[in-house]
Amino acid sequence: MSAATYTKPLPKIDERTKPHWEGNAVHELRVQRCDDCGTTRFPASRWCAHCLSEKTSWQKVSGKGKVWSWCVFHRAYFKGFESDVPYAVALVELDEGPKMYSNLVGIPRDQIKIGMRVRAVFDKVTDDVTLVKFEEDK
């Protein structure tokens, strides 16, 4: 699908965030890792909040984690989500530490549980953007 017909919000991809999106495109979940203190972080930021170093690399992570919490939107704040409501948003805690908001794939809302194991799957939504979502990791 082209960005012209995709109506949901698209990420702002710039030099700093690009490595994450390039990873998604090849089905690798990548987060930042501080070259000095080793702290992993996401979303992208210039400075490591742990040691204030600017030296950073993007690292492939397992894509595995667990549902930290979640909610269900019954109201669409974005026009592109109007036909999706009610839809769930989960906060996933990756095994490597960082947490990320995302959507769950193939898990009915009444079966979402905090602590359930999930793994990354990739959803190419436009020619340029692949989102990372999560399915149950049985």
Partner 1 sequence: MTLRDRIAVVGVGTTAAGTMPGNDAYDLGLIAFKRALDDCGIKRTQIDGLIVNRIPDYQRFAEIAGMDPRFALVTPGQGRMSGNSIAIAANAINAGLAHTIALVYGNNGKSAGDQYGGETDRYGGGGIGPWFPYGMTSPGAAHAVMFQRHMHLYGTKSRDLAHVSVAFRKHALLNPDAVMKKPITIEDHQNSRFIAEPLHLFDYCLINDGSVALIVTTAERARDFPKPPVYVRGFGTATKLINSSLPPEDFWYEPMQKVAKQTFQMAGVKHDDLDGLMIYDNFSPTVLFSLEGFGFCKQGESGEFVQNGRLELGGEFPSNTDGGHLSNSYMQGWALNAEAVRQLRGECGARQIKDAKTIQYMCAAPLVSSVIYGTELQ
Which residues contact partner 1 by CB under 8 A? 8-12, 17, 43, 49, 68-75, 77-78, 81, 84, 86-87, 89, 91, 99-103, 114-115, 125, 129, 131, 133
Residue with tokens 């194991």, as numbered in its chain = 117
Q: Which is nearer to partner 1, 9 or 54 (CB)?
A: 9
Q: Which residues make beta-bridge pairs with 88?
A: 72
Q: Which is nearer to partner 1, 11 or 38 (CB)?
A: 11
Q: Which is nearer to partner 1, 81 or 136 (CB)?
A: 81
3-state helix, strand, coil in the chain (%, to 5): 10, 35, 55
Q: Which helix (H) or strand (E) holds 32?
A: strand 30-34
Q: State how far Cα 14 lies from the chain centre.
A: 16
Q: Which is nearer to partner 1, 26 or 72 (CB)?
A: 72
Residue with tokens 């930290």, as numbered in its chain = 68
CB of 89 to partner 1, least distance (A): 5
Structure tokens, 58: 């993007």
> Helix, strand, or coil here: 80?
helix
CB of 133 to partner 1, least distance (A): 8
CB of 72 to partner 1, least distance (A): 4
Q: Which residues make beta-bridge pairs with 30?
A: 60
CB of 51 to partner 1, least distance (A): 13
